Amino acid sequence: MNAIILTALWGVVMMFGGVFFKKRTTPKYWAIAGIVLVLVANILEFFGHPFFNVDTKGMLKFDSFGLHFNTIAFICTLLFFLLNGRDFEKIGHHVSEYFSLMFFVLCGLSILSSFNTLLLLFLGIEILSIPLYILSGSEKRNLKGNEASLKYFLMGSFSTGILLMGIALIYGGNSLGSFYIDAINLGTGNLPVLIAAGLVLILVGMSFKVSAAPFHFWAPDVYDGAPAVVTSFMMTIVKVAAFVAFFRLFQSSFGAMQYQWQTLIVVITAATLLIGNITAVFQRSVKRMLAYSSIAHAGFFMFTLFALNDTAKEGLLLYAAAYCLATIGIFAVVIKMADYSIEGFNGLGKRQPLLALTSVIFLLSLTGIPLTAGFTAKFYVLMAAVKDGHQLWLVVLAVICAAIGAVYYFRVIQAIYFKEPVPGVNDEIHVSSSFKFLLAVTAALIILLGFLPGLLIDWIYY
């Protein structure tokens, strides 16, 4: 509850602050102060000290899994603000409002990690999405940004409609007439028609939100068109929150009859893995490549929904942390560049040794090389799938796709270390020493989780 209320409050504070802040740099510090406050409040709640006692009639359930996920998401957001806070000033004049919108997104995220009824799921999704429609179009003069925003909005509202239809069918279909996700749980019996139809619609709606194939078509254009800072936020924290909601809903409502709908997940997972990885190979722009790679990673996230066991739960959090840290890190470097093409990275090893080294660690983590968090995360989700014991070919397909992933991530690594710099392209990259320090911290976190994943996982069982 702490996180939901404080993020909403701080969003309002930031919104009105925009009137009073004289300097353009001020909002960044307020935002950082806000996220630290939210983070601390959330951790206090995790250890049993909620500030607010609101009777939600069981519509929200604050379990250790959800609160722990909040902590991970807020830490990532903090890192993101620290690394890229200044870059919001490049988008436009309303810096304070951008931060305000992001706090509203975080409010939606906190609801999605603790919802207990389908109504709040819907509310959470909407609170999460609407600020993003604005943010992705925040660069008013940029045509691609406007296109991205409009596309995202149209497709997003359409998929919300589908999700809502699914919720309605589930509500009407279950004998209790209840929105509570536990009450929907029908045990292991056969799926009634209405519930089955509702389940498919919810699955489609959620797949859209997490950009799983074949509902991914908006993702590359939106991620590519939106300002790079916003993309970084959307691709990581927002996407992961949608996955947590997806997992929460399917585990509590439909977990018992998993094998009746698992085939759908199998198809979606396979398609997402293949489309994301294969298309990413052909991209020339690092930003667009990362957009496709985020679809590819959605495929790996889908494994947690495929398996739905305890290992999947652990894997989901670990993958969320690994993916967010690495993507935020590599995006922080990309944002600093004028040219987003792969050639823009040529010779980075000579120009900016520390940026180069940390970028390589982020890329290795995204590839899934041992000793980085990316490996342990992949390892956990694959282990969850193998423990499930069904459809093992899917796991083999996943590792083949991971090898394809190496092709495009390593292309950037090759550019960084083995190619000569192109004169005139990204000649001057200005970064502060605190930026370098934070990148190093992010990389260190990735390596730490790479050999001690227990540091993160153990808290689920606190």
Partner 1 sequence: MLGTYFTFPELLIWIPFITGLIAIFIKNNKSVKMFALLSSIATLAVSVISLCYSDVAHHHEFFYYNNVSYVWMPYIGSSFSVGLDGMGFLLTFLTAFSYPLIFAATYKTDHKNPNAFFALMLLTQAGIMGVFVATDALLFYFFWELALIPIYFLCSKWGGEKRIFATFKFFVYTFLGSLLMLVGIIYVYVHTPSVSADSAHSFSLNAFYNAILSPHQQDWLFWLFFIAFAVKIPIFPFHTWQPDVYEQSNYPSVMVLSGLMVKMGAFGVIRWILPIFPLAVAKFDNLVMVFCIIGLLYASCIALYQNDLKRFVAWSSIAHLGLMSAAIFAANNLSLQGVMLEMLNHGINILALWIIVDIIEKKTGVRKISELSGLAAKSPALAIFLVIIAFANIALPLSNSFISEFLMLNGLFQFNIWFAVFGTLGIVVSAVYMLSMVQKTFYGKTNGLVEKAQKMSAGQGIVLFVLVIAILFLGIYPEPVIHLTQSTVTDILGRIPLK
**Residue 399 lies near partner 1 (rule: CB under 8 A):** yes
Q: Residue 285 pairs with which residues in a beta bridge?
A: 341
Q: Which one of the spans 90-98, 100-108, 212-220, 451-459 is the region binding partner 1 (CB under 8 A)?
A: 451-459
Give the three-state DSSP class for 127: helix
Q: With respect to partner 1, which residue has the nearer C-beta, 336 or 378?
A: 378
CA distance linking residue 82 with residue 282, whole number of Å:
32
Q: Does 407 bind partner 1 (CB under 8 A)?
A: yes
| Number of Cβ atoms within 10 Å of the Cβ of 93 | 10
The stretch near partner 1 (CB under 8 A) out of 30-38, 202-210, 245-253, 397-405 is 397-405
- Is 453 among the residues that bind partner 1 (CB under 8 A)? yes
Does the footprint of partner 1 cover residue 457 (CB under 8 A)? yes
Please tell me the number of Cα atoms within 13 Å of 373 on its side-chain side. Answer: 28
Say if residues 69 and 320 touch (Cβ distance below 8 Å).
yes
> Minimum CB separation from partner 1 for residue 451, in Å?
8
Piece in contact with partner 1 (CB under 8 A), picked from 197-205, 258-266, 410-418, 425-433: 410-418
User: Apex CA 153: angle with CA 251 and CA 288, to 5°?
Assistant: 85
In DSSP terms, 23 is beta-bridged to none
Asked if 455 interacts with partner 1 (CB under 8 A), we say no
- Report, in Å, the least distance between residue 336 CB and partner 1: 24
SS3 341: strand
Alpha-carbon span 110 to 63, nearest angstrom = 12
Q: Is 402 in the site for partner 1 (CB under 8 A)?
A: yes
Burial readout 297-317 (b: 16 or more C-beta within 10 A, e: otherwise): bbbbbbbbbbbbbebbbbbbb
Close Cβ partners of 49 (under 8 Å, ≥ 6 residues apart) = none
Q: Which of 417, 422, 429, 436 binds partner 1 (CB under 8 A)?
A: 417
Please, which residue, 85 or 421, has the CB nearer to partner 1?
421
Give the CA dihedral 451, 64, 77, 402, nearest 10 degrees: 40
Cβ distance to partner 1 smaller for residue 163 or 413:
413
Span of 79-87, 168-176, 339-347, 404-412 interacting with partner 1 by CB under 8 A = 404-412
Phi/psi of residue 225, nearest 5 degrees: -80, -35
- Phi then psi dihedrals of residue 60, to 5 deg: -120, 140
User: Is residue 396 a contact residue for partner 1 (CB under 8 A)?
Assistant: yes
Nearest distance in Å: CB 141, partner 1: 40
Residues in contact with partner 1, shown as a per-residue x/- string from 361 to 390 under the rule CB under 8 A: ---x---xxxx---x---x--xx--xx-x-
Nearer to partner 1, 267 or 281 (CB): 281
Tokens of 282: 């052909």
Residues 6 or more apart whose CB falls under 8 angstroms from that of 432 comprise none
Q: Kindly state whether residue 400 participates in binding partner 1, applying the rule CB under 8 A.
A: yes
Tell which one of 21, 217, 261, 410 touches partner 1 (CB under 8 A): 410
Q: What is the DSSP letter of 368?
A: T
Q: How far is the CB of 457 from partner 1 (least distance, A)?
A: 7
Cβ proximity to partner 1: between 52 and 461 the closer is 461
Answer for the pair 317, 460: CB distance below 8 angstroms, yes or no.
yes
Residues near partner 1 (CB under 8 A) are 364, 368-371, 375, 379, 382-383, 386-387, 389, 392, 395-396, 399-400, 402-403, 406-407, 410, 414, 417-418, 451-454, 457-458
